[in-house]
Amino acid sequence: MDTATGEADTITVMWHTSAPGSCALRTAATDTLVYYSDSPQQLGALSPSAAAGAAASGGGGGGGGWRRARGKCAQYVGGGGWHHRAALRGLAPGRRYYYRVGSGSGLSDVFSFRMPRTAAAAAAPGDCGSSGGVGIGGGSGGSGGTGATQCEHSEQRVEFEDGAQAMLPAGTHRVLFTADMDVMSSAGRLSARRMGALAQHGALDALVIAGDISYADLAYEGEETPCTLSIDGCARSTASGIGQSYEDTWDAFMAALQPAASAAPLVVAAGNHEADACFAGRCSVDAAAADAAAALRQLANYAAYRHRFAMNGRHSGGYGNMWYSFNLGAVHFAVVCSECNYPGNPSNKEADVNMSYGNFPGDQLAWLDEDLTLANGERHLRPWLVVIAHRPMYTIRSVTPQGMPTNDDAPSGPGSGAARNIQRAFEPILHRHGVNLYLCGHNHGYERTHPVYQGRRMPDGSNSTVYIQSSAAGNLGGLRSDTADQYNTTWLATADYFNYGLSVLTTRGDGSLLWTHHKLEDMSVLDQISLQP
């Protein structure tokens, strides 16, 4: 599920199949259907033949106690499977819904999710009143208002199968944040299990992965892939050469993420590893393949990322899932592309194809300025502004001794590669609108700053932004522990490049924001900060 529409009562479900069904016929997509209800019994009793009959007749819903949503499907690389999406509309905030995907050719198991609650900070914890509201979806000025609070999350202890425990604070909404994650590493697989358990326990209202999703561009034939590692969820695609290993890795990642993403909306940002299939010359192994040129082009320019996730670009005035915004409770989130559409953005092009990357339609910086202007006009409804991107602006891996971002590599290893250009493009907009948090990934570790502007630490409670990099979910590249000897700038609050971890952003009933960073091994709290309204 994802932030694909701007409608407050809508969730989009996406899934993958190896067979096209009616997609290949370019006819009505009778195999791209979702059946949903607030009763698991009604869906559990639904048979494929009944589903097929309802699909053929256009019926379903009223008499059977369930509703049906028809969607669309597409394929972006030959033999790589088919990607389906359908929007479920008319959903009530705070209510749990059950759903199955498919049709007469087969139905999935029953999955469930709870629509995000509405949030008015003045309502008492436990008040279950409801008067509409904004869930995931909708940019500034989108449909819906905040209304009265549905039941808050109480303080919650989640126990994991390996004995680890996470104590999550009470609040109106919780969002898990991470970046730079694969399932080829043991840490990445553990992160996926942690995320799944939290979502299945109803502890989360959304999941964010801010780029470098799956690291499919690091997998190719003859090297480690989810299939060669016998990782659960690997089903060999029928694509050949480059396409097969790349798609196998994406599919295994999404299978590992299914317990989490089937139960809570998924939010994504584009990272450099989504650009194409050829990071660091990986595609040279297929240089002699007859289909190499076609596959390289099909997988270029963020193709997998743009097809596998549907975000709120069109409805929030942005562009697809490259830059967009949405509201969740008391927070307005704007997701931007640190890889494209601003002066000096990195090209990330690794494949030998005759096409340019990025340069998507629209002016990202003008959009962000306008989006935050509208959001500022609604701060009486949503007082918090959060910007999400893949690359950091302020990081000790790319900084001068005076504390200013630089595009140069850090002395002991690779830096962010574009920190100075990101600062020049985005910081004036963030500062002008009083953005509270900038959340990012990229550097395989954890950092948090004090409020900072133009390389200088600013007073707590000022109009300046706190920058947090949480990219320690785990991947084959490991943690960049060599960062420990970097400059200790005045704006740095804390840094940890030795522990894998996941972060949670909680909006509290008193109107505050609480950020907690949890050690992946035992889910204890490694860092936290509370922002007061």
Q: What is the pLDDT of residues 180-232, one digit of tens each?
A: 999 989 999 999 999 999 999 999 999 999 999 999 988 764 456 666 666 66
Q: What is the pLDDT at residue 285? A: 52
- Residue 159 — very low, low, confident or very high, per pLDDT cuts 50/70/90? very high
Mean pLDDT within 20-31:
57
Residue 297 to residue 100: CA distance in whole angstroms: 34
Residue 68 to residue 381: CA distance in whole angstroms: 33
Mean pLDDT within 63-70:
78
Q: What is the pLDDT at residue 62? A: 43
Instruction: Return the higher-pLDDT residue of 402 and 421.
Output: 421
Instruction: Encode 314-347: b = buried (16+ Cβ within 10 Å), e = exposed.
Output: ebbbbbbbbbbbbbbbbbbbbbbbbbbbbeebbe
Instruction: Return the higher-pLDDT residue of 454 and 5.
Output: 454
pLDDT at 355 over 90: no
Q: Which domains does the chain have, with CATH numbers?
A: 1-115 (2.60.40.380), 156-531 (3.60.21.10)
The closest of 337, 335, 229, 243 to 283, measured between CA atoms, is: 243
- Residue 87 — very low, low, confident or very high, per pLDDT cuts 50/70/90? very high
pLDDT at 4 over 70: no
Strand 72-74's sheet: what is its strand order? 11-17, 82-88, 72-74
Out of 101-105, 135-139, 165-169, 289-293, pick the least confident: 135-139
Q: What is the pLDDT at residue 23? A: 67
Residue 379 to residue 386: CA distance in whole angstroms: 12
- Residue 388 — very low, low, confident or very high, per pLDDT cuts 50/70/90? very high
Instruction: Return the higher-pLDDT residue of 421 and 244.
Output: 421
Q: What is the pLDDT at residue 414? A: 46
Residue pLDDT, tens place only, 271-300: 999 999 888 666 765 554 555 677 788 889
pLDDT at 50 over 80: no
Q: What is the pLDDT at residue 447? A: 95
pLDDT at 60 over 60: no
pLDDT at 148 over 50: no
Residue 51 to residue 103: CA distance in whole angstroms: 5
Out of 103-107, 359-363, 455-459, pick the least confident: 103-107
Q: What is the pLDDT at residue 487? A: 62
Instruction: Return the higher-pLDDT residue of 307 and 146.
Output: 307
Q: What is the pLDDT at residue 130? A: 28
Task: Give the end-to-end CA distance of the chain in Å, rounded to a whole number.
Answer: 31
DSSP-derived secondary structure letter, 116? P
For the chain, give the number of residues: 533
Mean pLDDT of all residues belonging to the chain: 82
